[in-house]
Structure 1
Amino acid sequence: MGRVWLAVFWVLCLSGAVVAGPEYWRHEWPRTDFSRTTVDSWVEIVSGGPAKDGIPALSAPGFLPVARESRIGGREPVIALELAGAQARAYPLRYLTWHEIVNDVVADLPVAVTFCPLCNSAVVFDRRVGERVLEFGVSGKLRNSDMIMYDRQTESWWQQAVGLGIVGEMTGVDLAMLPAWVESWEAFRARNPDGLVMDEPAWTRPYGRNPYVGYDSASRPFLYGGDVPPHGIAPLARVVRVGDRAWPLTRLAAAGEIAEDGLHLTWRSGAASALDSAAIGQGREVGDIRVFDQDGRDVVHDVMFAFAFHAFWPDGRWMLGD
């Protein structure tokens, strides 16, 4: 039944997927400066179905002490953010699957916690650009099956997987990425018994359910027309991206630990895929992944689908270990 539901979802989205350009978009985006862009061709950008803010980003979320949270299963994935001078915070994917962006402030630092289900990219950004603090929303547009965010101050468009302004006043601006990682709720609460977890938003959504049932077992990404990855790697296989390098998750999971290229990568069982079964907590095993430098400090990384790495880093290095 889940795969049937997914097929219906894709058909509905495809019916609203319009390949267009600035002339078509200006009625919805009158403040966006379409004369400034890094996009080679407007056909790269398509509608994913929902309109602007059709997927509602969150701002100023509520939090609970870890000890008071009883709704989240131990294997459910959360985005962990542990900043100096602040209580550790967990942002459950059961919420981010439905909202995709959370605008928050942690230890006086404005952050955007983001998750794009279609390319499995979970990245946390510093929301400051010079003296400005931006607030982000979901545009409803996709490029290479990755969410295009927008900022409410200039209505510029940003590529979520890379944190780059691609259309508008902020074109060419890079958002700083912060060390964060996806891990199981059990791993987070065991390490941070005095930490905080994002509370359930006040929206009517089936939180804990996955609207993309079976997606990470599909043969082809949704609304993606680019090249498949090299080396026989499946498009929806997960890779651990650090900069312009990608380690296949299968390699890391088989080894448990990899010390290579100045990094220490680790894998431990215990975390479910958020894009497999109807109930997120029952998803197939993908494991907890951490990445450290040679001094044991957390390193900015992303566990994303291989097709997205290849699309945004076409000249990237595939760390195959042979």
Structure 2
Amino acid sequence: MKRGMVLAVGAVLTAASLAVAAAAEGRPPAFWTSEWPDTDFTVSSVGSWVEIISGGPPKDGIPSIEDPVFRPVSEETELAPREPVITLEIEGETPRAYPIRYLTWHEIVNDEVGGIPVAVTFCPLCNSGITFDRRTEAGMLEFGVSGKLRHSDMIMYDRQTESWWQQAVGEAIVGDLTGMRLDTLPSWMESWALFAERNPEGLVMARPTGFARDYGANPYVRYDSADRPFLYNGEMPPHGIGPLERVVRVGDRAWPMARLAEEGRIEEAGVVLSWQAGQASALDTREITEGRDVGNVRVRDAAGADLPHDVMFAFAYHAFWPDGAWMLGD
């Protein structure tokens, strides 16, 4: 169990009990409405309020990063070769790497690349790393961490309307913007060594300043080898797939990582997936640099263009895509 999980369990269970009582009456807990006075709880796509619980930290207790600072690849000295980063390569712009050692503690980076406002997000409990375009029909949004979870996945909020957004699907689920979806940009998780080798003139997000965080440490030690996900009570995935096994999600399809690692390359459903060893799990050992090898994944179309995708835990895929297609091969 992660460091700090035990301390948070009592508060989480108390909050969950209050949420259950309120949900039985078809209303959100009263303390939510006092904590979130600008959120319209009369509008929601959530089936039952009991699906949403506190993850422990309060609103902005996990602080998102605004206006991140970058340094040239050649000047980076803190990252180890196998450390994971989220890579964002927008045509015509200098490629950028967002180290998971920072996203683990901040979960959202609000940035702008080539005039495109983006939100680079990482939910450790689902291993979900997705980059969104922050431009919407409601205008440009800035995102923070609500401290709430649904199916163990981070609920983001926008600071313009304080609507709540499900990170795994990029959709507003509570508030004025309920039903609105964010466009997903192609980005992927890979080792620092692969990014730096391909992009020697690239940029990497520098260590955030002003925060007392143990950057480089994993607060979820051995999480991705646990028997069950933390704070999750939903159905387990089918086909004998472990809940904390990684899958590569493209749209509503999921390829088990074990299959991809064994085959190395898969061409199916108009998608080309490739696997290469050399990336440390950020959710294994206490020091991220020492995590076991989970490999690097690229997802492209038949023409070689990178596709939006996510490498997430199987339980989260099943929770949000219960009718999705499991690409199990022969």
Of the structure 1 ranges 23-32 and 104-113, higher mean CA displacement relative to structure 2 is found in: 23-32
Q: Could you tell me whether the CA contact under 8 Å between 1:16 and 1:48 is conserved in 2?
A: no
Q: Could you tell me whether the CA contact under 8 Å between 1:125 and 1:175 is conserved in 2?
A: yes
Residue 46 (structure 1) aligns with: 53
Structure 2 unaligned spans of 5+: 20-27
Equivalence map 1:167-316=2 (5 Å): 167-202=174-209, 203-316=211-324
Residues 267-291 of structure 1 deviation map (CA, whole Å, 9 limit, x = unaligned): 0001000000011011000001000
Residues 111-148 of structure 1 deviation map (CA, whole Å, 9 limit, x = unaligned): 00000000000000000112611000000000000000
| CA–CA separation in structure 1 for the residues paired with 2:10 and 2:170 | 28
| CA–CA separation in structure 1 for the residues paired with 2:67 and 2:191 | 23
Q: Which amino acid aligns with 2:167?
A: Q
Equivalence map 1:85-234=2 (5 Å): 85-130=92-137, 132-202=139-209, 203-234=211-242
Q: Could you tell me whether the CA contact under 8 Å between 1:22 and 1:34 is conserved in 2?
A: no
Residue 58 (structure 1) aligns with: 65
**Total equivalences in the alignment:** 317
Question: Sequence identity, in percent?
Answer: 63
| CA–CA separation in structure 2 for the residues paired with 1:148 and 1:34 | 15
Give the secondary structure class of the aligned counterpart of 1:153.
coil
Residues 41-76 of structure 1 deviation map (CA, whole Å, 9 limit, x = unaligned): 000000000000000001010000000001000000
TM-score using structure 2 length: 0.95
Residues 174 and 159 (structure 1 numbering): CA distance in 2 closer, same or farther, change over 3 Å? same
Give the secondary structure class of the aligned counterpart of 1:150.
strand
RMSD: 0.8
Residue 14 (structure 1) aligns with: 9
Q: State the shift of 1:24 in Å.
A: 2.2
Q: Could you tell me whether the CA contact under 8 Å between 1:180 and 1:301 is conserved in 2?
A: yes
Give the secondary structure class of the aligned counterpart of 1:148.
strand
Residues 75-113 of structure 1 deviation map (CA, whole Å, 9 limit, x = unaligned): 000000000121000000000000000000000000000
Q: Which amino acid aligns with 2:112?
A: V
Of the structure 1 ranges 265-274 and 19-28, higher mean CA displacement relative to structure 2 is found in: 19-28
| CA–CA separation in structure 2 for the residues paired with 1:138 and 1:130 | 21
Give the secondary structure class of the aligned counterpart of 2:4.
helix
Residue 28 (structure 1) aligns with: 35
Residues 223-273 of structure 1 deviation map (CA, whole Å, 9 limit, x = unaligned): 000000000000000000000000000000001111111111000001000
TM-score using structure 1 length: 0.97
